[in-house]
Amino acid sequence: MKTKIIIIFSLLLVSSIICNSQTTDSLSIEKDSICIGVDFSKMFYCLFYEIENKCNDVFYLWIEKEIHSSDQEKIRDYIMRDKTKIEGSMSVYQMAMETEITFGCRAIFGNFLKKIKPMETFTIQILSAKELSEHKKNEIFKYLDEHVVTVNENILRQYVVGLESFNSLLFYKYNFITIPVNILDI
């Protein structure tokens, strides 16, 4: 009887791991969630969306508000257009070509750009102060699947002239970012 229970538990564990991961030849996406307690009166809930670059190519990652069908549309809309529409602001491309620019604050849907080098991992952490139902977690992961854009550097070069000249300060340098759940349009 113990053996049957162990086998069933093992199968359930393996199937839950398989259900929460996506893999292509070059990128792997793992999804997970945890509850973190400061003490028993204050709990935080965190979802992890981890992207691993498993190949020798470089990928660029950003998060879009809109969903686009083609790489060209994604690149044109995020890299080449000024998303803020504020007087004096610039597109990501204009910022990237500036040599004397500083980046104080990243706008998740505006100028956030991560370069994922070969064999590197980048994690998006979604933080919530209240418990998330399984349905809500699935909605958030679906949102990330649809709005997190990863483009191979070779494809990006086809649409962005001077990519190799981008100011290195433009790229987000950490291997994770934490985003409060309330800023996602879910």
Q: What is the pLDDT of residues 18-68, one digit of tens each?
A: 334 565 568 999 999 999 887 777 889 999 999 999 999 999 998 888 887
Residue 175, in any domain of the structure: yes
Residue 8 maps to a domain: no
Residue 174 belongs to a domain: yes
pLDDT in tens, 78-127: 776 655 555 555 666 666 656 555 555 566 766 688 999 999 999 999 99
Bridge-based pairing state of the strands 42-53 and 121-128: antiparallel
Beta strand spans in the chain (E): 21-23, 27-39, 42-53, 59-63, 114-116, 121-128, 148-152, 176-180
C-alpha distances in Å from residue 177, one per residue of 34, 56, 186: 16, 23, 19
Number of folded domains that form the chain: 1
Q: Tell me if 97 is assigned to some domain.
A: yes
Structure pTM? 0.75
Residue 6 scores a pLDDT above 90: no
Domain-located, residue 167: yes
In a domain, 52, yes or no: yes
For CA atoms 175, 181, 185, 186, the dihedral sign is positive
Domain extent at residue 39:
24-183
Q: Is residue 17 part of a domain?
A: no
